[in-house]
Amino acid sequence: MDKRTTHGRSANARRLTALATVLALAPASMAVISAYQTGEFYDDSGPVTRGIFRNDVWVKSLSVGSRTMDAISADLAQVSSARVYSAPADGGDFELVSDDQLGKPGSPIHFALGRDVDGDNAKSSLDVLAGYSLSRMLGTDGTRRLRVDVLSSTPQRDSDPDNDDPTPELILAGSLERRSITITPIFGGEVDDPVLGKPVEVPGARAAEGALGIGILMKNAETPFSMSIIGFDLTGDLGATKDQPLIGFRLEIGPG
């Protein structure tokens, strides 16, 4: 099937996550948010390009802005730890959603998997955040705010810290277009007590610039979710200092 999909909504959800790639974040002008250029993707049948899929669609390589990354050679850094939180839509504190709660009846956060994806190996937030599949995400019922804190296995520094360049150090992937998301850099600390920078909001329109032409039909969803990939420069887009290593990020998405 060779058709571009539109962003969909399920009966009990939307979903958004990071693809667990190279990390780093902070605030700034965001002049050079880099969009997806080209990539190699595959499923059980072999290479895929555009279309709607129900099974795992894996990332093999990506070109985002002027940077090309390969999963096999570990250019895409893995997530080493993650925490998931939710909060009421109208305010209130975020509360931890444990892995034991994820996916249970009444849980505000659930696993969002492609219809034909085996859920037996998606038992924790790390299971879906630390891989290279576009078909394994986290979702909400749309009534609460979602926060995900992620640490990388490899700290990142800007490759050209004196310029706002199109060589991103953070790659964010998922169904990103529906509404604004907020990302905050993690400069140090632990996943349960991170040292944070300043948050930056990413409009859905900017995320749409990185559309892949790949849609994932999730379990319990009537229409597919379109996938996007965008990249961020550490010092230029995201305000990190010249020699500041970034070890992770906080991702927040509102209700709706």
How much is the mean pLDDT over the chain? 78
In this predicted model, what pLDDT tens digit does every residue of 173-200 receive, in sequence order?
888 776 668 888 888 899 999 998 888 8
Q: How many CB atoms lie within 10 A of CB 120?
A: 6
The reported pLDDT for the residue numbered 15 is 32
Question: In the structure, what pLDDT confidence band is assigned to residue 73 with cuts at 50, 70 and 90?
Answer: low
Q: How many residues comprise the chain? A: 256
Q: Pick the most confident of 75-79, 122-126, 202-206.
A: 122-126
Per-residue burial over 54-87, b if 16 or more Cβ lie within 10 Å, else e, is bbbbbbebbbbbebebebeeeebbbbbbbbbbbb
Q: What percentage of the chain carries pLDDT values higher than 70?
A: 82
pLDDT tens across 97-152, in order? 999 998 788 888 888 899 999 988 888 998 888 878 999 988 887 788 899 999 98
Structure tokens at 204: 């859905």
| Mean per-residue pLDDT, 30-47 | 79
DSSP 128: H
Mean pLDDT in residue range 212-223:
90
C-alpha–C-alpha distance, residues 69 and 77, integer Å: 10
Per-residue pLDDT reduced to its tens digit, 11-27: 333 333 333 333 322 22
- Chain centroid offset of residue 113 CA: 14
Q: How confident is the model at residue 39 (pLDDT cuts 50, 70, 90)?
A: confident
Q: Per-domain residue ranges for the chain? A: 14-253
Can you read off the two tokens belonging to residue 158? 């800007």
Q: DSSP secondary structure string, 192-251?
A: TEEEE---EEE-HHHHHTTEEEEEE-BTTBSSPEEEEEEEE-TTTTT---TT--EEEEEE
- pTM reported for the whole predicted model: 0.80
Asked which of 38-52, 68-82, 124-138, 235-249 is least confident by mean pLDDT, the reply is 68-82
